[in-house]
Chain A
Amino acid sequence: MGQGTFTIMPQIVADGLSVNMNRVRCPNPDTKFVPDSGPTVASRTTMVVGSTLFDAAIKLKAQMEAYASEAFFGGAPAELNEHFFKNTYTNETIPFERVADRLIKEKGPQRVYNQFKLPPQIRWDQRTFVGDSYPSYSWGCNVAEVEVNPLTLEIKVKKVTSFWDIGRVINPVLAKGQIEGGLTQALGFALMEKMGIKDGLFDASRMQTYVVPTALDTPEMSIDFLEFPFTGTALGAKGVGEVPIDGLAPAIANAVESATGVRINELPITPEKLLSKLGAVV
């Protein structure tokens, strides 16, 4: 829910097919029709499902081009480009709809099957647990600027600057939103969100007691992408799901150490923890 799958999968398929995105529909996944491709984990959907669909779309495009070539261009190569199939020898064009209508009438709905394959350089031995357990990684770099109130020891994050390599960025708006959201959660994780156990019960089991960042707590954020497409798939995308939450808390801890001279090794970094450490220093 909310990962952007229903936006980016049609984008990827439209790109692979060279058709307009509004020609692509993305039904709810159903294992009645397709094999179970595994869970939504490890930020893998874009890389694994996206690549599978991208390669499938390329196969489907080739299938349709082969039909257009044979049925309309007397065997001359056909190229699908948005609205037309083009005869690459004569530059003659036939509208997509005409080719598609006739193809469906003559041969019925076209289907292609494609399965994700790990790139050959990735090796993993499930028996000995040796090798590359993940084919690729996303990377991020976070810079946190913080102010610590010397009287109350309250910590305020003023600005976060971050750069991300998530491979090829499929949808910059959604990817940036995921990072803003991840950084906001990471900020809560670093400074505010505290869940303890008292007499066998969670002491922060409700939103009144488990305090998460609001719009007033989030700092200015500067977010940029450095795209190094993953070479193991044609699509080149990696994942953006989890990586945004990983780096900011350590960056804030480093910034707090730089400001106060003490290092807090346990999250959240609260004024109470700073006070006890600073007390020990003084």
Chain B
Amino acid sequence: MNKIVRTWKLNGEQRTVEFPPMRRLLDVLRDNLSLKGTKEGCSEGECGACTVLLNGKPVTSCLIAAGQVPDGAELMTVEGLEHTEGGRLLQHQYIEKGAAQCGFCIPGMLMASYAYLAGADDVDLREAAMREAHAGNICRCTGYEKNYGSRERRRRTMAERRETRKNRTTGPR
């Protein structure tokens, strides 16, 4: 198959990559760009393990043909979190809470958290809304409570969200 060339802003850096247009974004990220943090779970858009941010919005990268992602698109994978203050705060909170057990869902779960908290000015921080924002990410070993269930967690999230917004490198245009 003929290959195409794309230049994206990936985790804040310009990256040019060549691939067959129908290759899944997930495979281009993992295999062409060696970003192995993004995980393949169900391969059918149900589990959310492969969630990355495309122009600030969470997408399941297993369902996107990489050729559909145009030049200049902003992509963020779990590897990009550490370059932002908000991302680092999120990572620390996940660690502190013991949110990861086997950890397979965590790259996608983190991206869902980041996208939601950095997503809009009027983020709804009530529990139901927080749960809904993470409903596309399935965890099978440590459950969901440690990610956003507790009251304490929500209080901390307020502060974290302010930081995330202040320092985000990617977000909706």
Which residues of A are at the interface with B, using a C-beta cutoff of 8 A?
Answer: 1-4, 173-174, 176-178, 180-181, 183-185, 206-208, 212, 214-216, 218, 220-221
Contacts of B98 in A (CB 8 A): 173-174, 176-177
| A218 to B146 alpha-carbon distance, docked (Å) | 12
* Contacting residue for A212 out of B132, B140, B142, CB 8 A: B140
* Contacting residue for A218 out of B102, B136, B143, CB 8 A: B143
**Interface stretch of the complex, out of B32-40, B41-49, B81-89, B156-164:** B41-49
Contacts of B14 in A (CB 8 A): none
| A185 to B145 alpha-carbon distance, docked (Å) | 13
Q: In the assembled complex, how far is the CB of residue A190 from the closest CB belonging to chain B, in whole angstroms?
A: 15
Q: Is the CB of B135 within 8 A of A2?
A: no
Contacts of B139 in A (CB 8 A): 181, 184
Whether B154 sits at the interface, judged by CB under 8 Å, is no
Q: Is the CB of A212 within 8 A of B138?
A: yes
Known contacts: A2-B103, A215-B148, A216-B131. The answer to whether A180 contacts B143 by CB under 8 A is yes
Contacts of A177 in B (CB 8 A): 98-99, 101, 141-143, 146
* Contacting residue for A181 out of B42, B47, B140, CB 8 A: B140
| A44 to B3 alpha-carbon distance, docked (Å) | 52
Tell me the residues in window 97-129 of chain B with beta carbons closer than 8 Å to chain A beta carbons.
97-99, 101-103
Q: Is the CB of B42 within 8 A of A207?
A: yes
Q: Is the CB of B143 within 8 A of A181?
A: yes
Residue of B42, B103, B144 contacting most chain A CB atoms (<10 Å)? B144
Q: In the assembled complex, how far is the CB of residue B22 from the closest CB belonging to chain A, in whole angstroms?
A: 21
Excluding A180-B145, A181-B141, 8 further A-B contacts by CB distance (< 8 Å) are A177-B99, A177-B143, A181-B139, A185-B140, A206-B42, A207-B42, A212-B138, A216-B132
Residue of A208, A212, A214, A216 contacting most chain B CB atoms (<10 Å)? A214
Q: Is the CB of A221 within 8 A of B138?
A: no
Contacts of A208 in B (CB 8 A): 42, 44, 46
Whether B57 sits at the interface, judged by CB under 8 Å, is no
| A27 to B97 alpha-carbon distance, docked (Å) | 25
Q: Is the CB of B143 within 8 A of A216?
A: no
Whether B134 sits at the interface, judged by CB under 8 Å, is yes
Q: In the assembled complex, how far is the CB of residue B113 from the closest CB belonging to chain A, in whole angstroms?
A: 11
Q: In the assembled complex, how far is the CB of residue A152 from the closest CB belonging to chain B, in whole angstroms?
A: 20
* Contacting residue for A4 out of B101, B137, B138, B140, CB 8 A: B101
Known contacts: A1-B102, A173-B98, A207-B46. The answer to whether A215 contacts B135 by CB under 8 A is yes
Known contacts: A206-B44, A216-B132. The answer to whether A2 contacts B144 by CB under 8 A is no
